[in-house]
Structure formats: structure tokens, C-alpha cells
Chain A
Amino acid sequence: MSAPPGNERSRATGPKAPLTTAMLDDLLNNTLDPGYRAAAGMPPRRHWWDAPMVWAGCLLVGLLLVTAYQQSHLSAPARDAARKDLITRITNLQQAGSRMDGQAKQLAAEVNTLRDRQLSSQGDSSLRNLDVVSGGVAVRGPGVTIEVSEPAQPQATVGNGRAGTGSQPQAAVLHDRDIRAVVNQLWASGAEAIAVNGIRLTATTAIRFAGESILVDFQTISTPYTISAIGNRDTLLLDFADSPIARQLKTAQAVLGIGFKFSGKSVLTLPSVTVAQQSYASPGASPSPASKSSSSPSSTETSR
């Protein structure tokens, strides 16, 4: 940068020098503000405000430097602290929620054992069937698992955080309706119990979409989505492989690159869920509860 070779300078400032070269040369060699030289050419004038002006300018520079330093270095820890505080609050609430859920499950199990003790063997099997269908007890049995996942995110160039330069987050390819279609297909081909990412589906479980994430029973789940269903393994597999949603997902796999695979499993264990007390619905008079219950989840799911 300092002391450029002489011929370069003469070439750049010569009459034939291209404009860009002259500009670059000017930028590199005339680093002093041209105003100083212009002012030096003029007859010297002394004013009383010269010294205070320099004084104020230097004061401003110092103030600016220290303000910028404080802004970037001292405000960052505060921001971090707020973020950490929020994170701890979220995890605390999540832990409290899961603790209460576990408590509720434990109490439900207690209620079940007490009820079993009270009831004689006669109504037992129909009650157990109802428990399985409503999702009140954990179940195990043969079935299928279907796994779909979002395509791997292309590694976007990281913007430097300034507004307008960051990359947009990519929208989710898989939506609630895909998960719902898979679940409905499984109910339709006779699944007896279904769980999505370990969340058991009941007659009142909604699969919905909020912002960018899928909610199952109002709990956020994220990719990969694993749908496990207990039922007749062969029927479930064959029916699912033949279903429109499987074809759709296969197309999406080829075109959009989502992950999609399904397989039969000899033993699956699905967790229980705390079933809400029914406050308004009471058993109807007409059909026997056992025969009605086998079809009730599928009809509720399809209606959503």
C-alpha cells in the first residue's frame, strides 16, 4: 500500500488511464481527506472556535467508541441471560408437565387396579377392550411402523445477520394432513391402536398444524414422524402399501426427497394416555358398547 512503484502511478494518472484504475489508485494513495490540502492552500485564517471544535469532535469520537463498545459487549450478556432464562423456564414447565402426566398415569393405573379388584370377572373383558380402544392402557402386539421425515435441509449460506440478507427458513414439506391421511388409512384397515411419535391417539386426539410444526394431542412433534399401529400386520401392510397416501408419499420421496419407509413389526408397544373424563356424553341405549367401540376411533379421525 505504501510507496507504490513509480511507473504504476504514472500509468494510472496518465491521460489514457482507464477510469477504474485511476479511482483505485486514488483510493489507495490519497488516503488523506482532500479537504486538508485544499484548506492548506488557502490563506490561513484563525478562529476562536478552532480549538473548542476539535475538542468537541474528539470528545464525540471517544463517546462514540465507548458507546459502541458497551453496546456490542455489554448488551450481549444481557440478551444471553434473557434467552437462557426463557430456555430454563420452558424446560422447567416441560418437566413439570411431564411429571404431572406421569402422576396422572400412575393414578389412572391405580384406579384401574382398584376397579379390577372391585369388579367381578364378568364385565372384565369388555371393559379391558374399551380400555384398549380408548387408549387408557398401554398395549403391545404385532403391527406396522411407518416413518416419514422432512427432506434434509440444504445448507444455506449463512447470512451475517443484517436485515434483508438472511436466508429464509424453508417451509415444511410434510403437513398435518399427511400424517392424518396415514393415520386414517391405518384406522380404515383395522388398526386397533395407533401412536404418532410415541403419542397415543384416542378418539379425542387432534392432529393439527401450528406454524411450522405438527401438533398431536396439542404436543409439538418434529421430524422424523414415526406412526406405529397395532393390528393385523399383513392386512395393515398390504392395505397401506396399496393406499393413495402411500403412493403420494412415495412420489414426494422421489420428487421432494422426504424420508419414507414402512415395515411390519412382530411386537410393538404403544404407551397409554390419560383419557379425559367424559362430562357430557353418556352411553347410548342402542348397540352394545363393545361392537360400537371398534369402529368409533376411525370415524372420529376421519371426520377431522
Chain B
Amino acid sequence: MIAAVALVIGVVLGLVFRPTVPLWLEPYLPIAVVAALDAVFGGIRARLDGIFDAKVFVVSFISNVLIAALIVFMGDKLGVGGQLSTAVVVVLGIRIFGNAAAIRRHLFRA
């Protein structure tokens, strides 16, 4: 509950302050969003499984975002940025879907 409130507050803060992202960081933003979503769904699922751990959640969130951005950054430098970002999106997307399916089973028993 408190997490949902914090999420909403974060959204409101973003809407109010409109933080500008430096230009060099802009390409990594979508990847960071996917990584963050993965962490959030993982956290929700862990909560429903009853094994939620605050430290794991925060560390996995930050490291997922950083590593996803780093992979894409390296890909850009090597000239395969598009392919590597596709790879990151596919892997994280599979995880998001899997976690979402587990959450669905928890909530609706279906």
C-alpha cells in the first residue's frame, strides 16, 4: 500500500518538476523503464509469494536499470546497440510476463 502511494507521489513529482534528462542519457531511458518495470513486477510477485525483501527489491531495481543501460551503452559503442537493446527488452519482457502471470494466478486463482 505504502509502495503504491510512493509510486503515485513519484509520478506527481515528475509531473510537477518535469526533470529534464540530459541528451546523452535519453536513449537509455526506455530500457531503464523496462528494467524498472521488471523490478516492480518481481517485487509484487515476491510480496504475493510472501517472500518480499526490501533490500532485494531495491538492489535488483537499481542494478537492473544500471546493467540494462550499460549493456545498451556498450552495444552503441560497438555498433550493435539496436540488437542489444532488443535482447535486453526480450529478456526483461519474458520476465515481466512470467511475473505478471504469477501475480494473476495469485490474485484471480486462474
Interface residues of A, Cβ cutoff 8 Å to B: 1-2, 27-29, 31-33, 35-40, 47, 49-51, 53-68, 70-72, 159-160, 162-165
Closest chain A CB from B48 CB (angstroms): 10
Residues of A within 8 A of B77 (CB): 164
From B6, B60, B83, B94, residue with most partner A Cβ within 10 Å: B6
Q: Mark B54-98, 1 if CB is under 8 A from A, else 0.
A: 111111111001000000000011111111010000010011111
Interface string of B16-28 (1 = CB under 8 A from A): 0011010000110
Q: Do A59 and B82 touch (CB < 8 A)?
A: no
Instruction: Tell whether A40 pairs with B98 under 8 Å between CB atoms, given A55-B3, A159-B82, A162-B76.
Output: no
Nearest CB of chain A from residue B16's CB, rounded to whole Å: 10
Bound together, the chains give a CA A125 to CA B82 distance in angstroms of: 69
Q: Is the CB of B11 within 8 A of A65?
A: yes
Chain A residues, Cβ within 8 Å of B94: 1, 27-28, 31
Q: How many angstroms between the C-alpha atoms of A120 and B19 in the bound complex?
A: 78
Give the chain B neighbours of A160 by CB distance below 8 A. Answer: 82
CB < 8 Å neighbour of B6 from A29, A38, A62, A71: A62
B contacts with A: majority SS: helix
Bound complex: CA of A160 vs CA of B9, how far in Å?
34
Q: CB-CB < 8 A to B96: which residues of A?
A: 31
Q: Does B14 contact A66, Cβ atoms closer than 8 Å? A: yes
Partner of B10, one of A61, A72, A159: A61
Q: Which one of B11, B21, B97 contacts A62 once the chains associate, using CB atoms below 8 Å?
A: B11
B42 touching A36, Cβ below 8 Å:
yes
Distance A68 CA – B10 CA, assembled complex (angstroms): 13
Q: In the complex the two chains form, what is the Cα distance from A164 to B43 in whole Å? A: 35
Judge whether B10 and A66 touch: CB under 8 Å.
yes
Q: With A56-B6, A163-B81 in contact, do A68 and B33 touch (Cβ < 8 Å)?
A: yes
Residue of A nearest to B6 (CB): A58
A272 and B21 CA atoms in complex are apart in Å by 54
Q: Which residues of A contact B85 (CB under 8 A)?
A: 162
Task: Please indicate the chain B residues that have their CB under 8 angstroms from the CB of A65 in the complex.
Answer: 10-11, 14, 33, 36
Q: A39-B55, A63-B13, A66-B11 are in contact. Are A33 and B98 (CB under 8 A)?
A: no
Q: Are A64 and B81 in contact (CB under 8 A)?
A: no
